[in-house]
Amino acid sequence: MAMNNHVVINEVGPRDGLQIQSRVLTVEQRLQLVNALIDAGIRSLEAGSFVSPKAVPQMAGTDQLLAQLPIPEEVAYAALVPNQRGFEMAMAAGSRRVNVVLSATETMNQKNIRMSLDQTRQVCADIMARCLADGIEGQAYVAVAFECPYEGPTSQSEVLRLARDMFAAGAAKVIIADTIGAANPSQVSRLMSALIDEHGADRLSCHFHDTRGMALANVLAALKLGIREFDSSIGGLGGCPFSPGASGNLATEDLALMLQSMGYQTNLDAIDLVPVIQLAESLTGAELGGHSYRWLRRQHDSRQAQGAPA
Ligand code: COA
Ligand code: ZN
């Protein structure tokens, strides 16, 4: 086993997952889901976003959610912000970790947050600098890093430029996102190698969607290069409302199961995620579950039958 066998699983279901659901959950229901995830062992989680409630009604009340999050001293909770206004709201709500999003193409950026890419770079750089100055963990997502639903294949040099900008501004981490789940492992190796050469693996993370069933293969490609942090979403919940073709995120249970089978430490046992998936299903009314869900459910049921502690 390599030197570092700890992998951080950053759960994004409560944000990336819920934002596309037709059923809008109450703050209490969102909190119920977060509590279940924390009980199962999640220690890094994107709790919500400070965006226009007209654009994304699912994320209204994120300030109230943040105020009630369990064991904040033990969990890295992040809030996503699209602009300065969102950043001020996150600060007022006491956020300690803030995520900004730059899309690597002009059209995606406009569709998502109605700013040009140049404006967005400026706004995100300002927010990252404020984070650095104020002791907040600033993280920058580079969305559609492989392919854009509007502009096609993404230029690698553009992704490298955006990552460079954000680190220069003070970002603690850059997260490379395959927003529509179009990447393959060769592309992941190529882009992540270039990024690692410049910035090192420790300050990079990956966010994959499973649209074409290649999310785990993409994780493996990045893992081999030394990446030790990945986003995933419970039951594969999610997508992006502004990005046609974006379907579910990589499911947390699939990621956790693969990593634990390979001997990596994640603080999770995938079987313990079964009741969390069931809760997410009952809250959203959506049919959820990654590739391993049926198998995990059988393991969970036989554990229950043997009278093991729930
Ligand atoms: N949080 C809450 N409200 C916000 C806001 C924020 N971060 N930023 C702007 N607003 C409000 C404005 O006050 C204004 O409210 P009003 O209509 O009551 O006066 C309204 O939103 C529109 O403001 P404007 O500056 O004209 O923004 P816009 O209409 O161009 O929308 C965004 C820009 C960024 C606010 C909006 O597109 C958005 O929230 N997008 C989020 C997309 C998202 O979550 N994508 C997925 C994650 S990357
Ligand atoms: Zn996503």
- % pLDDT > 90, the chain: 92
How many C-beta neighbours within 10 Å does residue 282 have?
12
Check pLDDT > 60 for residue 201.
yes
Cα 213 to Cα 47: distance, rounded to the nearest angstrom: 26
The ligand 1 atom nearest the CA atom of 49: 44
Per-residue pLDDT tens over the stretch 26-58: 999 999 999 999 999 999 999 999 999 999 999
pLDDT band at residue 2 using 50, 70 and 90 as cut-offs? very low
| Active site residue ranges | 240
Check pLDDT > 50 for residue 73.
yes
Averaged pLDDT for residues 148-164: 97
Mean pLDDT of the residues in the chain? 95
DSSP conformation letters of 157-181? HHHHHHHHHHHHHT-SEEEEEETTS
Q: Which domains does the chain have, with CATH numbers?
A: 3-305 (3.20.20.70)
CA of 55 from ligand 2 middle (Å) equals 17
| Contact of 218 with 206, CB cutoff 8 Å | yes
**Considering only CA atoms, which residue is closest to atom 1 of ligand 1?**
51
CA of 240 from ligand 2 middle (Å) equals 6
Per-residue pLDDT tens over the stretch 232-248: 999 999 865 566 655 68
Tell me which ligand sits closest to the C-alpha of residue 82: 1
Check pLDDT > 60 for residue 89.
yes
Of 248 and 157, more confident = 157
Averaged pLDDT for residues 6-13: 98
By most ligand atoms within 8 Å of CB, the mutation choice from 51, 58, 59 for ligand 1 is 51
Cα 301 to Cα 171: distance, rounded to the nearest angstrom: 44
In terms of Cα–Cα distance, which of 25, 66, 70 is closest to 43? 70
Cα 310 to Cα 304: distance, rounded to the nearest angstrom: 7
**Considering only CA atoms, which residue is closest to atom 9 of ligand 1?**
52
In terms of Cα–Cα distance, which of 250, 271, 270 is closest to 177? 250
**Considering only CA atoms, which residue is closest to atom 29 of ligand 1?**
114
pTM of the predicted model as reported, rounded to 2 decimal places? 0.95
- % pLDDT > 70, the chain: 95
CA of 306 from ligand 2 middle (Å) equals 38
**Considering only CA atoms, which residue is closest to atom 41 of ligand 1?**
51
SS3 label, residue 103: strand
Cα-flanking dihedrals φ and ψ of residue 119, to 5°? -60, -45
pLDDT of the residue at 309: 63
Give Cβ neighbours of residue 54 (< 8 Å, ≥ 6 apart).
Answer: none
CA of 277 from ligand 1 middle (Å) equals 31
